[in-house]
């Protein structure tokens, strides 16, 4: 079973502010996928998969000088679909003007030879960084 995280834990782990997480949820990009009791005062719980997706969006924001571009974010999240619940080791995300997709890291040279302007995100590095953050904060499941 994948770990879950309280709303207060997510921004620091993903590399975003609480306001950025709320904005991304308002835009329909990433919402908590763990459903618990509903109603006022109920905890907001995020899955590990939600956390990984938010960390990718944070990395894209850093590459873009701090601003998360919604179109690019949607392409990135669509590209992550096939990797849901799977380890990201050895995977890169590539985003151009039209699409986002994932490739094994060994194929990057071939992609770069045939493409123009690209954004490349090392998914394995993001996943390792999340692990470090979780250990640093000694997080337990929510």
The string of pLDDT tens digits covering residues 81-124 is 999 889 999 999 999 878 899 999 999 888 888 777 788 999 99
> Is the model's pLDDT at 45 over the cut of 80?
yes
**When comparing pLDDT for 34 and 60, which is higher?**
60
Share of the chain residues as helix, strand and coil, in percent rounded to the nearest 5: 50, 15, 35
> Is the model's pLDDT at 135 over the cut of 80?
yes
The pLDDT, as a whole number, for residue 15 is 93
User: Quick one: what percent of the chain has pLDDT higher than 70?
Assistant: 91
Q: What is the mean pLDDT of residues 40-53?
A: 85
Give the chain's end-to-end CA distance (angstroms, integer). 12
The pLDDT, as a whole number, for residue 40 is 67
> Is the model's pLDDT at 142 over the cut of 60?
no
Q: What is the mean pLDDT of residues 44-48?
A: 89
Q: Do residues 126 and 89 make contact, with C-beta atoms less than 8 angstroms apart?
A: no
The pLDDT, as a whole number, for residue 69 is 85
* Residue 11, CA distances (Å) to 38, 105, 114 in order: 22, 28, 37
What is the residue-averaged pLDDT of the chain?
86
Q: Do residues 63 and 119 make contact, with C-beta atoms less than 8 angstroms apart?
A: yes
């Amino acid at each position: 079973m994948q770990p879950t995280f309280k709303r207060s834990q997510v921004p620091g782990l993903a590399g975003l502010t609480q306001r950025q997480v709320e904005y991304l949820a308002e835009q329909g990009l990433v919402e908590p996928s763990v459903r618990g009791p509903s109603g006022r005062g109920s905890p907001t719980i995020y899955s590990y998969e939600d956390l990984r997706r938010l960390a990718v969006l944070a990395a894209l924001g850093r590459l873009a000088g701090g601003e998360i571009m919604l179109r690019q974010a949607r392409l990135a999240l669509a590209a992550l679909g096939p990797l849901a619940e799977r380890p990201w080791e050895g995977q890169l995300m590539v985003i151009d003007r039209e699409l986002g997709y994932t490739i094994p890291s060994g194929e990057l040279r071939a992609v770069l030879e045939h493409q123009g302007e690209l954004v490349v995100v090392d998914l394995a590095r993001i996943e390792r960084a999340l692990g470090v953050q979780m250990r640093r904060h000694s997080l337990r499941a929510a």
